[in-house]
Amino acid sequence: MDNTVIFQAERPRLISLCYRMLGERAAAEDAVQDTYLRWAQADHAVIADPAAWLTRVATRIAIDALRSARARRETYVGPWLPEPLVVTADQPVEQDYILAQDCNLALLWAMERLDATERAALILRDVFDADYSDLAETLDKSEAACRQLVSRARRRVQDAGPRFEAPAAQVSDLIARFFAAAATQDFDRVKSLLSPQAVALSDGGAKVRAARRPLNGPMEIAPVMVAITSKYGTADGQRYVPCHSNGAPALLHLEGGKPQSVITLMPDANGQIGWIYMMRAPAKLRGITGQTALA
């Protein structure tokens, strides 16, 4: 089989891996492009398993890229959030991102607590079902060390807060009830839907107005969400329409048909809202077409 054909067949899987590692489309695509350049220069006669070779190379490139990105994120204005993969009626899932589409935003955010090697170990093991022998070769560690890495990473992610899997119907229902209450300025109802430990995060990327720190608990979150929803829900040319973000129900805020924000949430174990994600950074909303969003 032609080497370019082999690479293209693996490309969606490599994009998924690198997006999960880096949380940004452009960074993932750059890492996959670097992987292709190394693949094009490799001696294919000695590569017994192209898929495994490509995974190892892409993982190592992504680890290096994440370490560099972490230094930049230390000076980022406000919370840094992963870039959403948004699907609307005008914008279906791209072929390259089919495998990445189910990567939960809350999980991506929680994985920011891991160092680059822990993150790679967890993703390769839990998402791509890599053997510990493969992890050892990819990460240049012993199998025992890789088992410890994965175990530690799982604990740290689970301790991060929100649930990472919730039925779409439950998320849609919570979104509908929460924003209906916020739009009518029903503070008591808004607060009742929020967990006492709820966290709301917004990413404006220093380009647009957004909270510069996480909002914690109903008393901080409710006034902000009511103000935002009341302001934009009634203004001319402003609409909130349903969409899907990383495979989960979300709301797309449009102004004159152009995306201004993507908002989604995750319930806690009690069914209250435990985590709210608001992406406002223009650079992370580029390319979204939202004239008609998914119902």
Over the stretch 204-252, which tens digit does the pLDDT of each residue have?
A: 987 788 888 999 999 999 999 998 887 665 556 788 888 999 999 999 9
Three-class DSSP category at 293: coil
Q: Which residues of the chain have pLDDT under 50?
A: 292-295
Structure confidence at residue 59 (pLDDT): 98
Cα–Cα distance for residue pair 69/267, rounded to 1 Å: 29
What was the pLDDT predicted at 257? 82
What integer pLDDT is reported at residue 209 of this predicted model? 80
Contact between 109 and 277 (Cβ < 8 Å): yes
* pLDDT at residue 285 in the model: 92
Round to whole Å and give the CA distance between 153 and 123: 10
Q: What share of the chain is helix, strand, coil (3-state, %, to 5)?
A: 50, 15, 30
pLDDT given for residue 236 in this prediction? 66
In this predicted structure, what is the pLDDT of residue 88? 83
Which pLDDT score is estimated for 232?
A: 62
User: Per DSSP, what are the bridge partners of residue 199?
Assistant: 216, 275
